[in-house]
Amino acid sequence: MFPVVLDLTGRTVVVVGHGTVGRRKAAAAAESGARVVVIDPAVNEPYRPEHLAGAALVFACATPEVNARVVADCRARSIWVNSASDPAAGDFTLPAVHAAGSLVVAVSTGGAAPALARRVRDRLAAQLDPAFAAWVELLNEIRGQVLVSIPDPVRRRALLDGFADWPWLDRLRAEGVDAVRAAMLAAVPVS
């Protein structure tokens, strides 16, 4: 497995089948900024290979027979595909995800035990309070200043690694974002 976070903004994602699973995948793709095209053989039209035109990613969420055709058609066109009925036949599976601002935690079992992945995600999510999201945003903000102010990559990395250490999160919880921002900026040499 090769974990990756995809930016689907403006990309076409085709969902074949619009039952419970198809609706969930279509909603997740739309939420990530994708242009979602839904083909529902059970309601409006039979699936045809032409439906894949321009697709960056495809979810096969119909019957096993239709999904097998979708997977074969995607493979012939070098389009990444996920098969709801036969995860091993597709190119990828989706992890259980928790997002808190820009912090995203994804847990995968490679399709072997989705229920376990959800439970692990939920246990981790319970520990990720809103301070984590604020910390990530602050680190992003400070990173820009560090990149401009410190030309030496070794010093830059050491400083950024230090800011990403747990005592800063504890301090953010105790003192607030503004105080921690000021303390971090004080540690960044002015160029």
Kindly report, residue by residue over 37-82, the tens digit of the pLDDT.
999 999 878 999 999 999 999 999 999 999 999 999 999 999 999 9
Predicted pLDDT at 190: 73
Q: How confident is the model at residue 191 (pLDDT cuts 50, 70, 90)?
A: low
Number of domains observed in the structure of the chain: 2
Residue 30 lies in a domain: yes
Instruction: Judge if 23 and 75 occupy the same domain.
Output: yes
**Where are the extended beta strands (E) located within 66-167?**
80-83, 96-100, 103-107
Q: Across the chain, what does the average pLDDT equal?
A: 94
Residue 176 lies in a domain: yes
How far apart are the C-alpha atoms of 178 and 127, rounded to whole Å? 23
Q: Please determine, for residue 186, whether its predicted confidence score (pLDDT) is greater than 70.
A: yes
How far apart are the C-alpha atoms of 36 and 184, rounded to whole Å? 41
- Verdict on whether the full-model pTM lies above 0.75: yes
State CA 23 to chain mean position distance.
18
Instruction: Judge if 29 and 85 occupy the same domain.
Output: yes
Mark 155-165 as b/e (b = at least 16 C-beta within 10 Å). ebeebeeebee
Instruction: Judge if 78 and 135 occupy the same domain.
Output: no
* 169: exposed, middle or buried (Cβ count in 10 Å: 0-12, 13-18, 19+): middle
Tokens encoding 2: 């090769």
Q: How confident is the model at residue 150 (pLDDT cuts 50, 70, 90)?
A: very high
Range of the domain at 144: 130-187
